[in-house]
DNA sequence: TGGGACGGAATCACCACAGTCTCTG
DNA sequence: TTCAGAGACTGTGGTGATTCCGTCC
């Protein structure tokens, strides 16, 4: 991680977050208890000396953006990702969406060394020693649940949604809130600078590159190539993920990420007696373990009233200025659609003349049936 | 003050087809 | 294990139909 220059919000221009303690080096982990980004040395200094500090809830920083706390580990990509990057990376195509991701538990104990963390066998956030252990857990979690069944988890009591609130939010608001989270690039900057900043930050987004004159081949994407796509799957995942969390506005606020892609029903709805906020890892309850084998997945963080108020205000501002603009993912398809014959707005079959024109066009294009670029 | 009528805005479904993905042999 | 082929799936825009909401009487 290289330090470039620091922005007003504490983020470096290349998304790298500086250590909140020494302010000199890039952070490598985030302590939820202290609400601080720390480098290894500072973490060792702060948390290394007493058992109380060691129990602080710490997680590694996302491998992709290197600015937010990692929430899941993808064994397929061998990377730890924050929620936003996870969404971006794994919503690219159905194949990627099938990657099994394991929510990252907090760092247990002291970090071994400051030089070799997050490498190979020392996956971020792991109380697991090796990738093998993570893979084992992954298989454990890889429960196949019917889509309809998964959907049913999204609603506590169908037909009685009016009065269902959590922590003062209605579910509808929660739903809105997660849409906020999706809009990652915009979220991270002020409204005025968002578009420009996006151009700078999301250089790997195909939409930003402006080079998608043909339908892109959906190859596996590296961890540094996040995409901005809002698919229905995303919404389902987000809905599942943030349904019960009151802190959706900040990616730094999460430590757990029970993605629906894990095909694990969201447990936070079922256990009626479990409070909405937890301060630590919950003890196993009968209800919890019956519906979900990993109780540590359901721990929303406790927020201070100030934090919450701040997030709520921010969320409300966002909601006011939200715009649901259609995003064009495939310029080639847009071009095709615009040139297609229509009858009352509906696509119509190509006429013979249209086919002839297309053939001529193809000949002019050296015989390749390349979609004309915009 | 409540209810119906009206108009504008918003939302949704429909269509064809190139390209991609998945499955099977 | 690799390859080829078939079939399923996705995404794209303009229009009309439908729904929603605010205003007026």
Q: Is the pLDDT of residue A348 over 80?
A: yes
**Strand B within 7 Å of which CB atoms in A 330-359?**
332-333, 336-337, 340, 342, 345-350, 358
The average confidence (pLDDT) of chain A is 48
- Please check whether residue A44 is in contact with residue A24, taking contact to mean a CB–CB distance below 8 angstroms: no
How far apart CA A176 and CA A239 sit, in angstroms, is 9
Note the pLDDT of residue A115: 34
Q: Give the pLDDT confidence of A38-63 residue by residue, as tens digits.
A: 777 777 777 776 667 667 777 777 76
Q: Is the pLDDT of residue A330 over 70?
A: yes
| CATH fold for domain A14-61 | Double Stranded RNA Binding Domain (3.30.160)
Nucleotide nearest to A212 (CA to C1'): B19
pLDDT over 90 percentage in chain A? 0
User: Looking at per-residue confidence, does A109 or A369 come out higher?
Assistant: A109
How far apart CA A331 and CA A214 sit, in angstroms, is 7
| pLDDT mean over A258-270 | 30
Q: How far is the CA of A368 from the C1' of C21 (A)?
A: 51
| pLDDT mean over A117-130 | 34
In chain A, domain spans: 14-61, 62-104
Q: A83: pLDDT confidence band, cut at 50, 70 and 90?
A: confident
Q: Give the pLDDT confidence of A2-31 residue by residue, as tens digits.
A: 333 333 233 333 335 667 777 777 777 788
Q: Is the pLDDT of residue A374 over 50?
A: no
How far apart CA A93 and CA A215 sit, in angstroms, is 13
Q: How far is the CA of A18 from the C1' of C4 (A)?
A: 53
Q: A259: pLDDT confidence band, cut at 50, 70 and 90?
A: very low
Phi, psi of A296 (to 5 degrees): -70, -5
Does the model's pTM come out above 0.85?
no
Q: A283: pLDDT confidence band, cut at 50, 70 and 90?
A: very low
């Amino acid at each position: 991680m290289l330090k470039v220059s620091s922005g007003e919000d504490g983020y470096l221009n290349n998304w790298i977050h500086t250590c909140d303690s020494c302010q000199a080096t890039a952070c490598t982990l985030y302590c939820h208890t202290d609400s601080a980004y720390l480098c290894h040395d500072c973490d060792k200094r702060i948390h290394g000396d007493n058992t109380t500090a060691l129990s602080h809830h710490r997680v590694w920083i996302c491998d992709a953006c290197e600015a937010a706390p990692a929430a899941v580990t993808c064994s397929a990509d061998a990377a730890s990702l924050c929620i936003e990057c996870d969404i971006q990376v794994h919503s690219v195509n159905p194949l990627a969406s099938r990657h099994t991701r394991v929510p990252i538990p907090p760092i247990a104990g002291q970090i071994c060394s400051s030089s070799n963390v997050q490498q190979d066998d020392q996956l971020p956030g792991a109380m697991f020693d090796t990738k093998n252990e993570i893979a084992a857990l992954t298989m454990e979690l890889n429960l196949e649940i019917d889509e309809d069944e998964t959907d049913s988890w999204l609603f506590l009591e169908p037909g009685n949604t009016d009065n269902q609130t959590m922590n003062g939010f209605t579910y509808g608001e929660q739903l809105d809130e997660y849409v906020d989270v999706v809009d990652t690039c915009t979220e991270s900057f002020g409204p005025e600078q968002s578009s420009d900043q996006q151009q700078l930050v999301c250089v790997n987004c195909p939409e930003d590159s402006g080079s998608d004159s043909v339908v892109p081949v959906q190859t596996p994407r590296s961890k540094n190539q996040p995409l901005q796509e809002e698919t229905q799957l995303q919404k389902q995942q987000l809905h599942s993920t943030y349904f019960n969390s009151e802190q959706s506005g900040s990616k730094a606020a999460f430590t757990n990420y029970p993605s629906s892609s894990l095909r694990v029903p969201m447990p936070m709805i079922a256990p009626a007696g479990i409070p909405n906020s937890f301060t630590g890892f919950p003890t196993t309850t009968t209800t919890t373990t019956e519906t979900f084998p990993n109780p540590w997945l359901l721990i929303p963080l406790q927020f201070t009233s100030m934090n919450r108020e701040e997030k709520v205000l921010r969320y409300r501002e966002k909601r006011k200025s939200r715009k649901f603009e259609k995003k064009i993912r495939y310029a080639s398809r847009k071009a095709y659609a615009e040139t297609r014959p229509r009858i009352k707005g509906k696509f119509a079959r190509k006429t013979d003349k249209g086919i002839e024109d297309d053939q001529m066009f193809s000949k002019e294009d050296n015989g390749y049936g390349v979609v004309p670029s915009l």
